[in-house]
Structure 1
Amino acid sequence: MGESVERFETIFKKQKMQSRIIAQTTIRQRIEKLRALEREILKQSKKIQEALLADLKKPVLETNFTEIFISLHEIRHTVKNLAKWMRPEKVRRTLLTATVRSEIRLEPKGVVLVISPWNFPINLSLTPLISAVAAGNCVILKPSEFSPNASQILAEIISAVFSEDEVAVVQGDKNIATRLLELPFDHIFFTGNSEIGKYVMKAAADHHASVTLELGGKSPVIVDATANLDDAAKKLAIGKFMNCGQACIAPDYILVQNEVHDQLLTKLIKMVHEFYGSNNEFQASSSFGRIINQRQFKRVQSLLEVAIDKGAIIECGGTTDEKECYISPTFLTNLHADSSILHEEIFGPVLPIIPFTDLKEAIEIVNDKPKPLVMYIFSQNKNNIEKVLNETHAGGTTVNDFGMNYLQFNLPFGGTGMSGFGSSHGLSGLRAFSHERAVAHHHRWSALKLFAPPYTKFKVFMTKMLIKYL
């Protein structure tokens, strides 16, 4: 379904008028809205499952966990902590401001735009929306046109809970998104690829709007010789092949120390067979999804074919079916350094495995690429873990597990450099949609009076003392 430009411009104007009223809502009122949203998500759970099956062939378990549960967890975590988060934060006095009482207050930004992707269309639409509502903003949500069934159920859920002058869903293609970005929003939260992220930033700059960008990238895995290989193989297989590899936090390539390369590969292949059956049973497995559409299928297929043409070896999988948008769980070794699959985000069920001799070599490989959204380290050696953490950069890192930096809602989740900036989840999400207002309360005695004109020799002397001692 597409929207007329006139309609969403009208919604935007209504929200601008309403935003001051919404900004004055109490914490209790905002919590009630979030609880109403929670009830509606639960009520529509079956339709959400059906929508994700239609759009992505997403298994029910994956929908329940990665879409429904994560959204509900964001609501429940926010409801539990909102009163504490919204409390003015006291700031310590300095010697210069010894008589001033200072605090930071969170206030809503106003009318915000959330542009969400197709890979987790419910979760990645609702989690930023929850933070925006908790902060007291009005919201326009633009879900992806590539997951139309999910977009439609989102529209139904939102309209059942909110009036459109507070929260509204606008559906449509990139032309609608482009026109939305021409409006003077107070904040834009975008999840997607880096090229579109650049366009979003440029559009935001025209209106001096703040931006949160979650862009993904090539998330590396480092497995050293001390790692628990059985544990690593299972967690990496789960993380890579959930949602058919279409996740911004999915492992994009594995760097594994030479001594354990063959063992890890064998265990990874074993795990995939345990999950999905033998090679010729992968496609029939009800636990394995599909690539979203033909365009994305051809992109991933091309990365795979180019890698093979340059000498890559298929250790497992490698089967494709264009009609079904199916690519089997695939492991590649013997990759040529120039292969595009080592330089572009894969966003599909293909996992390159690259050996390294020592940790320095692995770190250099990671640092030669743009800063990733997530890094994974598997090691039992604390010194090795610290070395990787100290000598690399990433939006977030999980050690000896998959995705825990995303699932821990007391941590900020976000990228750095080409993988984005700004954070979401919990308090970090609330702050993303809030202005931190600095407030200094006057005291009857103020040091400022000492520097009032006329500028006597004594007052000049006082400034010199400040420079010397403060």
Structure 2
Amino acid sequence: MEHSTQEALQLAFESQRAAYAREPMPSLAVRKDRLKRLIEMTRKNEQALCEAIAQDFGHRAHQETMLAEVFTSITGAEHALKHLRSWMKTRRMPTALHFMPGSNALMPQPLGVVGIIAPWNYPYYLTTGPALAALAAGNRVMIKPSELTPATSALMARMVAEHFSPEEMTVVNGDADLARAFSALPFDHLFFTGSTAVGRHVAQAAAKNLTPVTLELGGKSPAIFDRSCHLELSASRLAYGKLLNAGQTCVAPDYVLAPRDMVRPLAEAVLRHWQRMVPTVHANPDYTSIATPRHRARLQQLLDDAQAQGAELLPSHPQELDPGAGRKLVPHVVLNPSADMQLMREEIFGPILPIVPYDSLEQAIAQVNAGDRPLALYFFGEDRRAREQVLARTHAGGVTINDCIWHLGQESQPFGGVGASGMGAYHGEWGFDTFSKLKPVFVQSRFAGTHLFQPPYGDTFKTIFGLLRKIV
């Protein structure tokens, strides 16, 4: 990274920090105005966003971008607008009897300057989601988009510059060296979405400044099929969850655990639904490309490794397996995967679905718990007892029952990982709280008897302390 780029990055940060010092507690009106501008910016540029993202991916259906990037950004900001007044209020908190007539309160306060490092797979939504929460909380925002989506990143820089002053929100574009310098800035909070491996480096860089971090990572999110599920309906929903954005979704179902005798019928049902949703692959405008040639080659390597080790590959469109046809990848179900195969050790992040047989629900739960805690977990079945057993005995960042992915869109629920899949949460009020200091305030009464605990200590202290121990 050039020295001039480093200086520009530092100046942008110092400018925002100075702006925060001048206005440390933006009013409700100011925050609402910023959220409204984010909505206006998104609506004004929705077509340009669809085109830029499609350009970066090689191809992505505009409908997917509208649903997963534009719509979700707008609804998130509108939810914040609707609830912002109540979120900003100082919250009255309970006060223990022995501290009365004093009182407790919790005061939400902006942190200052927030840094956001965004990923390539949903380059707009996974930028605006944390950004709108940080703006709602009254912060200044600096954004580092992914260098793997250059058209979208350049567009976002222009959009933000047109609708926000650099002291409010700014986008800085650059390569991995810039990302490293960005993560080393002494932000008041740093938000990262991406891989677990890179997340570790971001956390280490932030730790040098004692900067708190939110890490939205990934992992191998399992889908557990119970014998009580509606097979055809469940297979349709599973197929869509894996097909969306060609599987390049952090909460996509990574692999399936199914009763042994259900594996083949489930595989055949998933293949049928893939064929229904995308009758063709390479020329289909509804099916997304793999983001880069490197990512495409990696996914092909996962398939080649599995086949070499004895797995059965079931392509949805065997007639379109031409490896030279471009960046689109024919969806595959993989049967007989073993634990030492590459696709069972790494997050897949593509349209490849291994199905692993189990002989008892206990065995399925044990397999989930043997790995890192995933960002998402899916359970398909109508047996309430089995469902509660899975929920109670596994950990995951979030869960959807009898479908995939939709828990991510709930603004009234927190979204975040656990363990290797991340730390911290956002969405809705949880996003506001993440980017706020919830400052506890105790207000003492003039009638308080605390002077009775002051020295010199004697019989009065002994008597009052004895009473205190009895009432607590």
TM-score by length of 2: 0.96
The letter of the residue matching 2:27 is T
Alpha-carbon distance in structure 1 between the residues aligned to 2:426 and 2:382: 30
In the alignment, the residues of structure 2 paired with residue 321 and residue 124 of structure 1 have an alpha-carbon distance, to the nearest angstrom, of 31
Aligned 1:69-468 pairs, distance under 5 A: 69-277=71-279, 281-317=280-316, 319=321, 321=323, 324-467=326-469
| SS state at 2:353 partner | strand
- Residue 460 (structure 1) shift: 3.2
Deviation at 1:465, TM superposition (A): 4.6
User: In the TM superposition, what whole-angstrom CA distance separates every residue of 1:358-389 from its partner, at most 9, and x where no partner exists?
Assistant: 10010001000000000000010000000000
SS in 1 for 2:239: helix
Paired residue for 1:37? 38
Q: Which residue of 2 aligns with 1:12?
A: 13
How far apart are the structure 2 equivalents of 1:298 and 1:60?
A: 25
Instruction: State how far apart, in whole Å, the 1-side matches of 2:131 and 2:249 are.
Output: 20
Q: 1:336, CA displacement in angstroms? A: 1.7
Please say which of residues 81-90 and 217-226 is displaced more in the overlay. Answer: 81-90
Which amino acid letter does the alignment assign opposite residue 401 of structure 1?
D
Which one is further off, 256-265 or 153-162?
A: 256-265
CA offset at residue 469 of structure 1? Answer: 4.8
- SS of residue in 2 equivalent to 1:230: helix
Question: CA offset at residue 320 of structure 1?
Answer: 6.0
State the Cα distance separating 1:464 from its structure 2 match. Answer: 4.5
Conserved? CA contact 1:258–1:357, under 8 Å: yes
Given that 2:257 and 2:356 are in contact with CA atoms closer than 8 Å, whether structure 1 keeps it comes out as yes
SS where residue 357 of structure 2 aligns? strand
Counterparts of 1:75 and 1:258, CA distance in 2:
45
Distance 1:307 1:174 in 2: 31
CA contact (8 A) 1:22 1:166 kept: no
Q: CA deviation at 1:259?
A: 3.6
Q: Secondary structure at the match of 2:99?
A: coil
Gap runs ≥5 in structure 1:
none
* Aligned residues of 2:281 and 2:328 also touching (Cα < 8 A): no
Paired residue type of 2:302: L
Give the CA deviation at 1:439: 0.9
Range with bigger deviation, 454-463 or 407-416: 454-463
Deviation larger for 97-106 or 386-395:
97-106
Aligned-residue sequence identity (percent) comes to 35
Runs of 4+ with >4 A deviation: none
Residues 441, 314 of structure 1: alpha-carbon distance in 2 compared, 3 angstrom cutoff = same
**What are the Cα deviations for residues 126-147 of structure 1, in whole angstroms up to 9, with x where unaligned?**
1110011111111110000000
- Cα distance in 2 between the residues matched to 1:430 and 1:21: 21
Rounded to whole Å, the distance in 1 between the matches of 2:322 and 2:421 is 29
Shift of 1:92: 1.1
- CA–CA separation in structure 2 for the residues paired with 1:163 and 1:109: 19
Whether the 8 Å CA contact 1:55–1:292 is kept in 2: the answer is yes
Counterpart-to-counterpart distance in 2, 1:108 and 1:328: 47
Distance 2:449 2:98 in 1: 8
User: What is the distance in 1 between the residues matched to 2:185 and 2:339?
Assistant: 44
The SS at the match of 1:23 is: coil
Residue by residue over 1:225-247, the C-alpha shift from the partner in whole angstroms, topping out at 9 and shown as x without a partner, is 11011211111111111111100
Structure 2 spans left out of the alignment, 5+ residues: none
> Equivalents in 2 of 1:11, 1:101: separation in Å?
41
Shift of 1:87: 1.2
SS in structure 1 of the partner of residue 158 of structure 2 = helix
SS of the equivalent of 2:97 reads coil
CA contact (8 A) 1:141 1:168 kept: yes
Q: TM-score, normalised by structure 1?
A: 0.96
Q: Return the letter of the residue paired with 2:434.
A: A
How many residue pairs get matched? 467
Give the whole-Å Cα distance in 1 for the aligned partners of 2:315 and 2:285.
Answer: 19
Report matched runs for 1:47-62 at 5 Å.
Answer: 47-56=48-57, 57-62=59-64
* Bigger mean CA offset, 319-328 vs 420-429: 319-328
Aligned partner of residue 164 in structure 1, secondary structure: coil
1:50-97 CA-to-partner distances (Å, cap 9, x unmatched) read 001101111011010001001001111111111111111111121222
Q: Distance in 2 between matches of 1:191 and 1:320?
A: 33
Q: Is the 8 A contact 1:217 1:419 kept in 2?
A: yes
Which letter maps to 1:157?
M
